[in-house]
Structure formats: structure tokens, C-alpha cells
Amino acid sequence: MTDERGRHHPSVERYADHVNPAFVKLLGTFGYGRVFVRAKGARLWDDAGREYVDFLSAFGAMNLGHNPPALIAAMHAFLDDEMVNLVHVGPQIHAGDLAAELAALTGGELDVAMFSLSGSEAVESAIKLARAATGRTRVLYTKNAFHGNGLGALSVIGHGRLRDPFEPLLPECGEIPFDDLAALEAGLGAHRCACFIVEPIQAEAGVIVPADGYLKEAKALCEKHGALFVLDEVQTGMGRTGSMFAFEEQGLVPDVLLLGKGLGAGLVPISCALAKRKVHQKAFGSAERFDLHGSTYAANALSCRVAREILRLTSELDLSGQARRKGERLTRALAERTRGHPFVREIRGRGLLVGVELGPTEGGGLLNRLVPGLVDALSRKVFGQWLSMRLLERGILAQPASQQWNVLKLQPPLDVDDADLELVVRHTGEILDQYRELLPLVRDVGERLGKQMRGGWSF
């Protein structure tokens, strides 16, 4: 665990000893380790003084970039006001103000807010809400879905690697294929379901975009069968896909909308389950039930006040419009730069949530035709991480989708400069040009692994 100057970084050693030893070892596999010490806008710096442009944005949380001055000022102002940050014997006024503004953004249809601190908690809020409001227990979710890491959220995740070690999870949770209306209707018809929870785009499964009309028809099927339609926009909301919320372009309003990540802009922990009033009333509207959901730090004043400033800046800076225009530019430029590459299968996404899928293609030469399984396996296990490693060495921070390593996921701050978009396209293209056959990839990865092994897998 030494940096390029050969010295030990004590914080890394303490992290390895006391927080997550396996993670630090994994970073040492390819020599991925960096200690990031400062951030501003779309830039980060490590302790060796190297500069990086951020195309990860804390998995989409940093819509405004790192440490935006207006938010820092709002936080200072709050602290100077000596306001009560936590109060549980009266209404939290900042939570009320934020909830009213969020309701207005949804056209007044989602007018009751259940605040929490993380996306996973918002998901669990929705499950509790749906079961309490409908009197039913079954929850439908989709294959390859990602909704968080709490035990309740894991119960509706469609990735066995994440959930299997913790079984048994919540009972009465059923999986159906994503973007499959027939499967949804069958699932809703076979059981009395409390809700169907779904992402508008499956980000961690590889930026999977459903067919046009899928969400709208899914909502109609839920209405037909008396189930709530819960839309998880923790990663897609707050302008990321080119509109304030992804559902706006699909001609529907969900029964419950889940927000997080961008709602706190990476500076404060806050998430929310926005619900229709009639749904919330059924679940928690009585004196006997009003206190059946909540937590100590939920709706704390600091997070709510900062979130209100985030809403203001998102509108003032037209971040949704910026994401739409810049996302189209990025997707188009990547597609043009990688056209004909034997291992680039597709460039896809919406707004500034873009995926570059790697794997065998029909025009990929003899190996693609003879051993497509080998090409696919190398792409899933190695190529995506290797591409992100090479980008890091060129000063670009990006990562594959967490559950689909052959898809490089690009999600910069929504006000990213055009020059940075061009930089990422150029470097991605240049790196991929070095690997138009498998042999150079296998050779380079093998050499790196050998070097790291000889160095004791040094961070």
C-alpha cells in the first residue's frame, strides 16, 4: 500500500485494517489504488498531485459536481442560523418546505414525502408503504434490478451474487423479466400484489433502457390489478436522463417515486419516497399509525435545506436540458468514434447516463465467430475493468456498471464541459484502438498482473 513515491499512506493502511481489507486488496490487483484528497467541480486530485476528470460522479450523486460554491454557502448559512437540526416533538419546518417543492415538481400528484438518508432506505419505505396501504404482501421486482443493500432492498434485487449470502430475505417477493409486459401481467394476475418496483433504466445492470411505452403500460397493468407502481429514480432522477424525472417523458406519474443520490448532491445524506396522498393516508394516516415509519436523522433540517438549494440550482442552471443536450453529444460522438470496433457492441443511454457495452460482435473477425463465449467471458471479467483502469491512468475516473462489468458506465456532473466530453471520447477511442484483437488485451493484462504480483499486490 504505497504510492508511486514509495511511501506508505497511513490512512490506506488504517482503511485496510479496520474498514474493508478485501477492497484495498482488489484495488491492488491492477494497481488501481489512488488516494483522492481534493475535489472541485468535475475535477479530483490525489495525494500525488495528479488531476482527474470525474465521469463517475459517485454513481450519479454529484449532479452539480464536487463542492459547488452555492451549496457550501447554504450549509454555512444554515450553521450560522443556529437552527434546530433534529426535532421529534413538532413539525420539522425545513422538511415541510422541501416536501412542498418536490410535490410541485410532480404537478402536485405526489404530495406526501417520506424522507430518509439513503436510496436503500427509500426502497424499504416504499415496501412498507405499499404493504400497509394495500393490505397485501407480495412485491414484484425485475431480473437484474438494483435497489440497494439493506435486507429489505436486497429482497427486491435481481442479482444473485448480492442477495444469495443473506437468504432468507423478505418473503413474498417475486422476480419477473425486465421490459416484459406479459410477464408482469402474469405476475400480477397470479397473486394479489402490493406493488411492482422498477427502475426506468437499469443502471447497474449495464444501462438497460426499456422499450418505449413499457413504463406507461406497466403502470396501467398495476392499476388494473390493484397494485402500486413504484418507480426507483434514485439514480435517474434530478435531471440525470434529460428531464427532471425520467417518468416525465413516458406519459405517466407513478404511485410512489423514489429519489436519492442527486437530491443531496453528494454533500448531505437524503432520500425520499414521494407518494400520492390517498396512498399515504391508507398506510399511515391514522393516529394509531402515524409513527409506524421514521428514523432519527430522517428529514434533518440541514439536509432538507441543502436539498432545497439543489432544486433551485437544478432549475436555474437547466441541468436537465444540459444533460439531454450533452448526453446526445456524448452518445453520438462515442458511437462515431467506435464504429466498426470488433468488441464494441452498443453505445446506449439517456441524458448523461451512458453505457459502452463490450463483447463479441458479428463483424468482429474470426475469434468472435469461432469462440464468442471466450470473447464474452473476457469482456465480462476483464475488459471493462481494464478499460476503466487505462482511463484512470489518463486522468479519467469511470467505472463499469457494478453488476455488468462489460459495460463502461459514464455519468459525469450534469454541467460537465464540452471539452471534457471530447477528452473522454478521444481517450476511450484511443485505448480501444489498441485492442482490436484479444491477444494484445490478454498480453497487457497478464503483464500488469505479473507486475502487481511481484510487488505484493501493492495498492
CATH number of the domain that residue 56 is part of: 3.90.1150.10
- pLDDT for 195 equals 98
H helical segments located in 106-171: 119-134, 151-154, 160-163
Do 59 and 193 lie in a common domain?
A: no
Asked if residue 158 and residue 126 are part of one domain, the reply reads yes
**Rounded to two decimals, what is the model's pTM?**
0.94
| CA–CA distance, 217 with 232 (Å, rounded to integer) | 16
Residue 229's DSSP bridge partners are 196
Q: State residue 366's pLDDT score.
A: 59
Helix (H, G, I), strand (E, B) or coil at 206: coil
CA-to-CA separations, 101 to 78, 264, 445, in angstroms, rounded: 19, 15, 50
Q: From first to last of its 459 residues, what are the pLDDT tens digits of the chain?
A: 444 433 467 888 899 899 998 998 888 888 889 999 999 999 999 999 999 999 999 999 999 999 999 999 989 999 999 889 999 999 999 999 999 999 999 999 999 999 999 999 999 999 999 999 999 999 999 999 999 999 999 999 999 999 999 999 999 999 999 999 999 999 999 999 999 999 999 999 999 999 999 999 999 999 999 999 999 999 999 999 999 999 999 999 999 999 999 999 999 999 999 999 999 999 999 999 999 899 999 999 999 999 999 999 999 999 999 999 999 999 999 999 999 999 999 999 999 999 999 998 876 665 666 567 777 788 888 899 999 999 999 999 999 999 999 999 999 999 999 999 999 999 999 999 999 988 899 999 999 989 888 888 888
Statement to judge: residues 266 and 379 lie in one domain: no
Give residue 363's pLDDT: 67
> How many Cβ atoms from other residues are within 10 Å of residue 364's Cβ?
21
Q: What is the pLDDT of residue 119?
A: 96
Q: Are residues 307 and 341 both part of a single domain?
A: no
Shared domain check, 182 and 48? no
Domain boundary among 264, 291, 316: 316
Domain boundary among 299, 316, 333: 316
Claim to verify: residue 283 and residue 367 sit in the same structural domain: no
Q: How many domains does the chain have?
A: 2
Task: Tell whether 450 and 410 lie within a shared domain.
Answer: yes
Q: Give the domain range for residue 184.
A: 69-316
Q: Is residue 354 located within the same domain as residue 421?
A: yes
List residues bridging with 71 in a β-sheet: none
Do 364 and 235 share a structural domain? Answer: no
